[in-house]
Amino acid sequence: MPLYLVRHGETEWNVQRRLQGQGDSPLTPRGLSQVRAYGELLGRLLTAAETEICLSPLPRTRHTAALLAELLSVSADRCAASELLRERHCGTWEGLRFEDLAERHGVEESRRLFRDWDARIGDHGESLAEVHARAQRWLAEPRTSPNTVVVTHGIMSRVFRGAYLSLAPSAILDLPSHSQDRIFCLDAGNVTDLLVPGHE
């Protein structure tokens, strides 16, 4: 049963290069256009009766999932939010620009901390190991539909794909980021990169 991994559409904080974590900002007009492009691609691959949508409960993913459900004609009772799909909690780093982090910690130290598997960033934030444990728990849950669209976030997407492939932490960190011009299809132990045509 394939999983279609979707990142939320572009947000205002994405444009400003701010770290969102479990904070939030609204989708931009470009983000809304991206979601419509996701819907067009998924609409060619899926049928509503055989599809469920699982999503992070944060507002930007809820908005993305609601638009996708409308575009794909998936009913509300086939859409479910899961706390396990939330983005990494980045503590006091949330809302900061990457330039702000570089000023506070230095460029190299900021990168090191962000990629340290066991580091709880931003004082009381979450480690990548903890995000990985959440992804594993979600993946272990039984699926009830032939196709599942998973609407989540950039960091969670990378860790989620690594958990699905049973990769070591170092290999997970080397996976490509989830840009908003693609959807990942996870099926039969493989991850396929689907380019979204017509996105802006």
In the set 10, 52, 87, 126, the catalytic residue is: 87
What CA–CA distance (Å, rounded) separates 70 from 21?
26
Sign of CA dihedral 47, 51, 57, 61: negative
Q: Is 153 a catalytic residue?
A: no
Which residue is associated with the tokens 């999932």?
Answer: 65
Q: Is 141 a catalytic residue?
A: no
Strand order in the sheet with 3-7: 79-81, 51-55, 147-152, 3-7, 182-187, 190-195
Show the tokens assigned to 14. Answer: 């994405």
In the set 8, 63, 132, 178, the catalytic residue is: 8
Which residue is associated with the tokens 């572009």?
Answer: 10
- Residues forming the active site: 8, 87
